[in-house]
Amino acid sequence: SQQGEEDPQALSIQEGENATMNCSYKTSINNLQWYRQNSGRGLVHLILIRSNEREKHSGRLRVTLDTSKKSSSLLITASRAADTASYFCATDGGSYIPTFGRGTSLIVHP
Amino acid sequence: EAQVTQNPRYLITVTGKKLTVTCSQNMNHEYMSWYRQDPGLGLRQIYYSMNVEVTDKGDVPEGYKVSRKEKRNFPLILESPSPNQTSLYFCASSMDSNYGYTFGSGTRLTVV
């Protein structure tokens, strides 16, 4: 079963704005990962955050994790048209093998 | 170049004709996994392997087989494909649970 669920399903913003996506999951995890997928292509790993971490940064990406609420968020600051893609969270449900949600489709208008 | 290679990229086949989608990684990764992606359903895990000769079912294993005889290869076998297996398939690998997965470019399979 799909462990993580992203919200919103779709997000449309203007270039330069920030984009925030959320992920909720059901059971305890060892880590949570975020991936990006450009249309029909393979997923690209963005960030992995462990269950004992609360926040992680990578360039314009900021990920937070709240294990008490079983939720995570991905913030993309100063978005660019090239950020247009689908974003997926993946949780391991304690098994170390990630399962993916349905994704958030982000469109950044130039 | 570190990568996961899937073949073929595109395949159209007929119902019942056995096929194999190959997956190979050159990063000496322990973990390998197969997913299928369908519109509105996201990625669903078919099978995974945490080591040579060790494979486990994911969420949607029916109609699929896998094998892991060598660390680098993890082929996906459809013994008798059916139209509901028409999908985009991804193979992925990872060093271990502390690292993200590297994905292949995908195999678009159509079963008619």
pLDDT digits (tens, 9 = 90+) for B2-57: 899 999 999 999 999 999 999 999 999 999 999 999 988 889 999 999 999 999 99
A106 contact partners, CB below 8 Å, separation of at least 6: A10, A11, A12, A13, A19, A21, A76, A79, A83, A84, A85, A86, A87
- pLDDT exceeds 70 at position B1: yes
- Chain-centroid distance of CA B77 in Å reads 9
Q: What pLDDT band is residue A2 in, cutting at 50, 70 and 90?
A: low
Q: Does B35 touch chain A (CB under 8 A)?
A: yes
Q: Which residues of A2-29 are buried (b: 16+ CB within 10 A; e: fewer)?
A: bbbbbeeeebebeeeeebbbbbbbeeeb
* Beta-bridge partner residues of B31: B94
pLDDT digits (tens, 9 = 90+) for A36-89: 999 878 999 999 999 999 999 999 999 999 999 999 999 999 999 999 999 999
- Find the closest chain A residue to B31 by CA distance: A97
Percent of chain B with pLDDT over 70: 100
Is-contact A24 A73, C-beta < 8 A? no
- Chain-centroid distance of CA A45 in Å reads 10
A2 contact partners, CB below 8 Å, separation of at least 6: A99, A100, A101, A102, B42, B44, B59
Handedness of CA A24, A25, A30, A36 (dihedral sign): negative
Write out chain A residues lying below 8 Å of B33, CB-based. 97-98
**Separation of alpha carbons A71 and A99, rounded Å:** 15
Phi and psi (nearest 5°) for A49?
-125, 130
- Work out the minimum CA distance from B80 to partner chain A, whole angstroms: 24
**Separation of alpha carbons A39 and B2, rounded Å:** 22
> Which residue in the set A2, A43, A99 is minimally distant from B103, CB to CB?
A43
Mean pLDDT over B64-70 rounds to 97
> Which residue in the set A30, A44, A88 is minimally distant from B97, CB to CB?
A30
Name the residue among A3, A106, A94 with its Cα closest to residue A46: A106
Mean pLDDT over B72-99 rounds to 95
Interface size A-B, in CB pairs within 8 Å, comes to 67
Q: Does A4 touch chain B (CB under 8 A)?
A: no
Please give the angle made by the CA atoms of B17, B47 and A99, to the nearest 5 degrees.
130
Residue A60, token pair as written in the block: 């314009």
Mean pLDDT over B54-68 rounds to 95
CA distances, A92 to each of A53, A99, B2, B45 (Å): 15, 6, 24, 12
Q: Does B102 touch chain A (CB under 8 A)?
A: yes
Which amino acid is present at A4?
G
Beta carbons of A102 and B98 less than 8 Å apart: no
* Beta-bridge partner residues of A47: A34
Beta carbons of A102 and B42 less than 8 Å apart: yes
* Beta-bridge partner residues of B4: B25
Write out chain A residues lying below 8 Å of B58, CB-based. 97, 99
Beta carbons of A30 and B40 less than 8 Å apart: no
